[in-house]
Copies of this chain bind each other. A is one copy, B any other.
Amino acid sequence: MRLLNLLVLGILSFCLAFPVWAGDQDLLSRARRYFEPLPEKPPALKGNPLNPYKIELGKMLYFDPRLSASHLISCNTCHNLSLAGVDIQETSTGHMWQRGPRNAPTVLNSVFNTAQFWDGRAKDLEEQAKGPVQASVEMSNTPERVVATLKSIPEYVELFRKAFPGEKDPVTFDNVAKAIEAFEATLLTPNSPFDRFLKGDLRALTAEEKEGLRLFMEKGCANCHNGINVGGGMYAPFGVVERPGADILPPGDKGRFAVTKTASDEYVFKVPSLRNIALTYPYFHSGKVWSLEDAVSIMGSAQLGADLSPEEVRKIVAFLKTLTGKQPEIVLPILPPSTDRTPRPILGKVK
C-alpha cells in the first residue's frame, strides 16, 4: 500500500516536472547552437607562445604608469581590473585630461574577440596594445621613449631576457606589446551562471533568467551576440532598422568606415561582447547610456525593429546578468625603481 502511494507520488511528480525539464533541455539545446562556455585557460596566441615570465612581465607593464609620457597613466587606468576591465566613464580621459572619442571596451575575455577596438582596426591584442601607448589623447608616449625607459631599469631588462629567451635584444616595443597580450589573454571570467547552464547545469539559471535567454534568442539578439563571448565575433551597423539619435550615435564617429573607407561601413562597429555587461556600464561606443535596461531597449528598436515590453526588457536584463563571471584574482605587481637614466615624466604637450 505504502509502496503504491510512493509510486503514484513519483509518477505524479515526474509528470508535473517533465514539461519544465523538457523545456529546459530544449532551451539548453538551442542555446548550445549559439553559445560556447568560456574556457578556464587562455588559448594559444599566434606568434606569441605563453610562458610564466612573459605573463608576469606583461602584468607589470600593464600596471606600470611609466609606459605613458606623464608616468601617470597605465593600461589599468582605463582598463581597471578592479572595475571589470573598464573605467566606468562615457569616454576615457588621458594625457592632459583630454577626452578620448570612444568608450573603453573591457579587456576581460577580449582575447576571444575577432579583432580589437570598436572599429576592429587591430587584428589582435598585441597590435591593440601599441595604440593607446602612442595615442596623443591617451598615454601620449613614443615607442622609443618606452624602450629607453624599460632599458634604463635593470630588473626589466632581466625579465625581458627571461620572457623572450634566445633573443639578442629582447627589450623592443614589439615585445612590450607581446608581453601585454600574454597577460591580457589570462584575464578570463569563467564559471558564470550562464556558463554553468551551458555545461549542463539546468538549475544554474532561474526561471526568469531562462525566459530572458529564450527571448534573447527568439528576438534575434543572439544573431549578432553569440559565440564564446556572446558578441565580439562580427561587425554590424548601429541602427540596422532605426538609427538612434545623435546623442547616442554621434554623427562624427562613422566607426569602421574610418578603417575600410567603404561606404557600407558607415556607422558599423564591432558587436561588443556581453560578458560581464552588468559591470561594464556605461554602454555603446559613445558611452551615453548608463542603464542596462535602456541599452537593451535601444538595441531592440535600433537593431531588431522590436518594441520590447518592459517585462521583456527585465527578463533579458536578468539573463544578461548571468554573464557575470568570476573576476580574475590579481596580485598587484611590485614595479622596479627608475634609475638616473630613466626619462623623466612629461606632463605637458609631448610633441
Contacts and interface: CB of A to CB of B under 8 A. Distances in A.
A260 interface: no
A77 B74 CA distance: 10
B93 A335 contact: no
A279 interface: yes
B99 A71 contact: no
A347 B99 contact: yes
Given A83-B335, A332-B330, A344-B290, A89 B71 contact: yes
A41 B168 CA distance: 45
Interface in A37-88: 63-66, 70-72, 77, 80-84, 87-88
Given A71-B88, A331-B332, A281 B63 contact: no
Nearest to A324: B337
Interface of A: 63-66, 70-72, 77, 80-84, 87-89, 93, 96-97, 99, 278-279, 281, 290-291, 327, 329-335, 337-338, 340, 344-345, 347
Given A82-B334, A290-B344, 12 more contacts: A65-B83, A70-B93, A71-B89, A72-B87, A82-B335, A83-B335, A84-B337, A97-B347, A278-B337, A279-B337, A281-B337, A332-B332
A278 B96 CA distance: 28
Interface pairs A-B: 8 shortest CB-CB? A97-B97, A330-B332, A327-B334, A82-B335, A279-B337, A63-B82, A96-B97, A82-B332
Contacts of A329: 331-332
By CB atoms of chain B within 10 A, which of A71, A329, A335 has the most? A335
B331 A330 contact: yes
8 contacts: A65-B83, A84-B337, A281-B337, A290-B344, A329-B332, A330-B331, A330-B332, A331-B332
A183 B62 CA distance: 24
Contacts of A93: 70, 72, 347
A314 B180 CA distance: 37
Contacts of A87: 65, 71-72
Contacts of A63: 82
